[in-house]
Every structure is written in structure tokens, then in C-alpha cells.
Amino acid sequence: MGLKGTALGESRVEKLKNCIVYRSRMKLWIIRVTTSVLLWICLVQLTILGENWGPRVLKGWPSCFSHESTALLVVKSSPAVPARVLPPKRVYRNNGYLMVSCNGGLNQMRSAICDMVAIARYLNVTLIVPELDKTSFWADPSEFQDIFDVDHFITSLRDEVRILKELPPRLKSRVELGTIHTMAPISWSDISYYHNQILPLIRKHKVVHLNRTDARLANNGQPMEIQKLRCRVNFGALKFTPQIEELGRKVIRLLREEGPVMVLHLRYEMDMLAFSGCTQGCNKEEVEELTRMRYAYPWWKEKIINSDLKRRDGLCPLTPEETALTLRALDIDPSIQVYIAAGEIYGGERRMASLAAAYPNLVRKETLLEPSELRFFQNHSSQMAALDYLVSLESDIFVPTYDGNMAKVVEGHRRYLGYKKTILLHRRLLVDLIDQHNSGSLTWDEFSTAVKEAHAERMGNPTKRLVIPDRPKEEDYFYSNPWECLEPSYEDETLSNI
């Protein structure tokens, strides 16, 4: 009995020891799990705070909730596309948030976006993806992401400026209540204006909304890093959506299959003529229609216009008839494909007859593509303009008949691509030569020689921008000739002023 009792006691002691060990292990396991959960919650909170309050030291930490958090992150869009390594995020103290509403057509907004990125970078603020104009003449409802690859825009610039698709929730409600500070910055301002005038407002209000962005940054006299960044945004970060890029490549391929291509940006559309008051070649009914349209838009400030005087000053787009004479005088091959990058030409086939007779291979995107391929682009003028932009970049020759925003931005982009041939028409001289030829004062040979001589140095060749102190509207536009970003460099002795 004694031995049996001893054995039973030892068994109970052993069970008690095992129970204590088991409980100790359970406590340790519970402590570990609880600690892990708490650490995970802290990490989540820190990540959220980092995203809301701007770049800090935390921005260097990897985040499980963002595919953009590490400096060496590899992005793969599809198995066929090579891996892309994103640039590291720039770490800076965030001074606040900048919202912008662009105004105008596609290329006016494009250049404004480039300016706003440079300004946000200089002010060390977070830029919200720009809002595009929906109230202009074209009334295009497209959002930024409908035209541009928004993810590429954000990630490709992450080493320069932080860009968000929308404000953090705590600030977004202020927009909805209309309590944010809204203003239009002064046109053609030096970058120091934004540091001295705009930055204090951002620090005070946390969010500033710039509601007009066209031509708000000066062409010249800016720090080299600002000019370089404007170019980087324009030529690298602002890619069109894959759908637009794909359709643009198809148009270019169809054109290439038939030979050389000249893109003619024939700015002879109803809105352009009504706005400018240029009525050369229009009949009485058309002049009245254009005048009524001009008065119908109160923000078109100039109402009474002398069309003849404006034309003689070179301030009117060339008519289709004048364009045909000019191209012939320049010895452009009559068999070349002429892609019309424009909307509907005012006057239709009647006004296009002389151009079609001189250059019978006239094509448009509407004649190259099936209606079903353009269906989703209809009533979206900026998306249609984006297709024309892509074709214009790739053409053998680009000829704008007016120096609007598309003409200027395409000119600069073609310079960037290797000074591709861009014929910059000297309209004031041309209309005088054309009038002399039509009146019999100049023979065809004399007219053609004079036109060629006038344009020998107007083919998009290297040159410095014309600077006119205190008259920025009259000097050369930065985006038409961003020579700081081009080769040969600005130090090259071949550069000259025109």
C-alpha cells in the first residue's frame, strides 16, 4: 500500500508539473499573439498617418498597403511588358495641398499641368491630380484619367513630388463645404511669386485651389531645375491612356503602310473663326453666323473685329485656299498623304475644294478608322485631340496654319524628338505674298521663291526662344521651344535668336 500511494503521489505531482508548463506556454503564446496584433495595428495606423500627413521619415518604411512604398519596387503591367523599377519617393516636409482646375483645350491644359507639377515641387506641397476643364466651348466631360495614364503620372514623378488622386478625408469635407481658399494666380509669374505669395496661403489654409492655370508660369528666367522638370512632365509623365495610345498607333500604322505623311493642323473650324473674327473667303450668311456665335459667348471679350486688318497683321489662321498655295510654293509633293488634324472645317467641301485638288490624298482619323473604333471618343474633344496629337508627333512633316496651343506644344515635342520637320508658317508675310500673286503682281516662280526664302529657317531647327522683357505674351512660348531640355544644348554656338 505504501508503494502504491507513493506512486500515485508522484503521478499527481507529474500531472501538476505538466499542467503548469502547459499554462505557462499558453500564456507565452497569448502574449506573443497579442503583441503581434498590437504591433500590426500600430503599423497600420502609422502608415495611414504617413499617407495623410505627407512624407516623413516613415515614408521610407515599406508599407503592406501601398504598391508604391519601396524604392526598389518592380511593377509589371502584363507578362509581355518588361518589369519597371519605380524611382524612390522623395522625402520632404509637406507644406500642404495644392488643388488645380485647368482651363482650355487639351494642350492648354497639358502645359498647365506641367507648370503646376513644377510649382508643387518647388513649394514642397502635395499635388492633387488636376481637374480638367468641362465648361469651355467644347464642354468635354473627360476626367484626367480618361485622357492620361494617371498611375503612370503619379509613380513616374514620385521622386520629385507627392501626387494624390484626391484629398485625405479630413480635408475633402472642406471642399464639399466650399470652405477652401480659391484663387487665380497672376499670369506669367516668376517661380518666386509662388514662394512669396502662394506658399504662405497654403501654410495658412492647408489647401489652396488654383482655379485658372493657363500661362501662369513665366517662359524665361526660371531656375534650370524648374525648366527641366517641366520638360520631364511633358515628355515623360503625361502619357495618354493605353486605349488612346493603342488607337493612335493603329492610325500611324495605317498611314505608314501608304507612304510618307504630312499632318496639317488646319485650324479653320467654326469656333476658331468666330473667336478670332477672321472671315476671309466667307459669304455674307457665314459672316453673320460667326458674328452671332462670337456674341453668344460672353467670355470672348473681343466683339467688334476688323477681319481684313487682323489678317494683314498675321493674326488669322490661313484659309484652306491660302494653305494650298503655300504648300505648293514650298514644293510639298502632291502625292503625299495629308492627315487633317482638326475638327469640322467651316464651309465643308466647298472650302476644301482647292486643297483637295492640290493634294488629293487627304485623310482624317474618321476616314481611317471604323465608326465603332471612335464611338467611345465621340463628344470628347480632348480625347479626339489626343489622337491627332500622337499622329502629329510621328508624321514626316507637321504644318500648323495657326499658332494655337496644339501647334506650339507639338512643335516643342517634335524638337525634343530630334528636331523633326515642322514648318512654321509666317502668316503676315504669306498673306501679303498671296495677295500679290492673286493680283498678278508676282508670277508663280517669284511667289514660290519668296515663300521658300521666308521659311528656310522656319523648319523647327535649333534656336533659342525669343525673350521680350515685360511683354511675355509676345515672346516665344516655353513649350514650343524648351531649349533647356534639348540637344544640342543651350551652350551650343549654333543656337541663334530669330
Q: What is the pLDDT of residue 65?
A: 31
What the block records as the C-alpha cell of 118 is 513644377
Look at residue 42 in the predicted model and tell me its pLDDT. Answer: 53
Asked if the bond preceding 488 is cis, omega within 30° of 0, the reply is yes
CA of 90: how far to CAs of 69, 85, 125, 197, 248, in Å? Answer: 11, 15, 12, 24, 34
The pTM is what? 0.82
Q: How far apart are CA 279 and CA 369, in angstroms?
A: 32
Domains, the chain, ranges and CATH? 95-235 (3.40.50.11340), 240-267+316-460 (3.40.50)
Inter-helix orientation angle 444-455/320-329, to 10°: 90
Do residues 66 and 72 lie in contact, with contact meaning Cβ atoms separated by under 8 Å?
no
Place of cell 481684313: 308
Nearest to 236 by CA among 339, 349, 344, 159: 159
The grid coordinates listed for 89 are 519617393
What's the helix, strand, coil split of the chain in %, to 5?
50, 10, 40
Comparing C-alpha atoms, which of 382, 379, 414 is closest to residue 398? 414
The one-digit pLDDT tens for each residue of the chain (498 residues) are 454 454 445 555 455 455 555 566 666 666 666 666 566 555 545 544 444 444 433 333 333 333 333 333 444 444 455 566 888 999 999 999 999 999 999 999 999 999 999 999 999 999 999 999 988 777 889 999 999 999 999 999 999 999 999 999 989 888 888 889 999 999 999 999 999 999 999 999 999 999 999 999 999 999 999 999 999 999 999 999 999 999 999 999 999 999 999 999 999 999 999 999 999 999 999 999 999 999 998 889 899 999 999 999 999 999 999 999 999 999 999 999 999 999 899 999 999 999 999 999 999 999 999 999 999 888 899 999 999 999 999 999 999 999 999 999 999 999 999 999 999 999 999 999 999 999 999 999 999 999 999 999 999 999 999 999 989 999 999 999 999 999 764 444 444 433
Strand stretches in 223-336, DSSP E: 261-265
Give DSSP secondary structure letters for 120-176: HHHHT-EEEPPBPP-SSTT-----HHHHB-HHHHHHHTTTT--EESS--HHHHHHHH
Return the residue matching grid coordinates 512632365: 233
Q: What is the CA angle 130-133-139, rounded to 5?
A: 150
Q: Do the Cβ atoms of 329 and 448 come closer than 8 Å?
A: yes
Provide the CA 224 distance to its chain's centre, in angstroms: 20
